């Protein structure tokens, strides 16, 4: 599976770690869904993803943005997601972390890619109107069929 965010925020970029902002729920939520303990350091987080065959990337390759808010993203240039899917044919589903990632994915790739894509609530603390429990339920409902080899698309 491939999980796409919009674009890392300033803290994540500075740390060179996906979802590196301490308030982001991603590294709490995903291991829980996978039935794993939350990794303590970034190397363990990457190892967990590799072991479970989960890829992380972003819809956006480059942009102009003020601060961490996705609402200030301008001049977004997309990553080569079609090229990634050609190189990594085993990717059976794309999960879009938040409304901005979903909107930009749909704008740039629309119905041109033949891999199912699912919009999910953002794990960002800026998405405070959605509780952690609601995020966990939505992510779990979308991801579990692919983990349990019940992928309806294959």
Residue 110 CB contacts under 8 Å (≥ 6 apart), including other chains: none
On the CB side of 24, how many CA atoms lie within 13 Å of its CA?
A: 21
Let me know how long the chain is: 154
CA distance 142 to 134: 12
DSSP letter string over 57-104?
Answer: EESEEEEE-STT-GGG-EEEEE--HHHHHHH-TT---EEEESHHHHHH
Strands 60-64 and 74-78 turn out to be: antiparallel
Indicate if 79 belongs to the active site: no
Among residues 71, 68, 86, 82, which one has the least CA distance to residue 10? 68
Annotated catalytic residue within 24, 127, 149, 151: 24
By annotation, the residues acting in catalysis are 24
């Amino acid at each position: 599976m491939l999980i796409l965010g919009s674009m890392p925020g300033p803290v994540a970029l500075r740390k060179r770690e996906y979802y590196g902002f301490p308030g982001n729920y991603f590294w709490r939520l995903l291991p829980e869904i996978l039935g794993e303990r939350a990794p303590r350091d970034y190397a363990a987080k990457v190892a967990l993803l590799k072991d479970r065959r989960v890829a992380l990337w972003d819809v956006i390759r480059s942009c102009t943005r003020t601060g961490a808010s996705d609402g200030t993203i301008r001049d977004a240039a997309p990553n080569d997601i079609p090229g990634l899917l050609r190189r990594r044919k085993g990717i059976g589903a794309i999960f879009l972390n938040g409304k901005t990632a979903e909107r930009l994915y749909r704008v740039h790739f629309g119905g041109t890619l033949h891999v199912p894509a699912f919009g999910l609530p953002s794990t960002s603390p800026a998405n405070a109107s959605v509780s952690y429990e609601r995020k966990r339920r939505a992510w779990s409902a979308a991801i579990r069929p692919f983990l349990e080899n019940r992928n309806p698309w294959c």
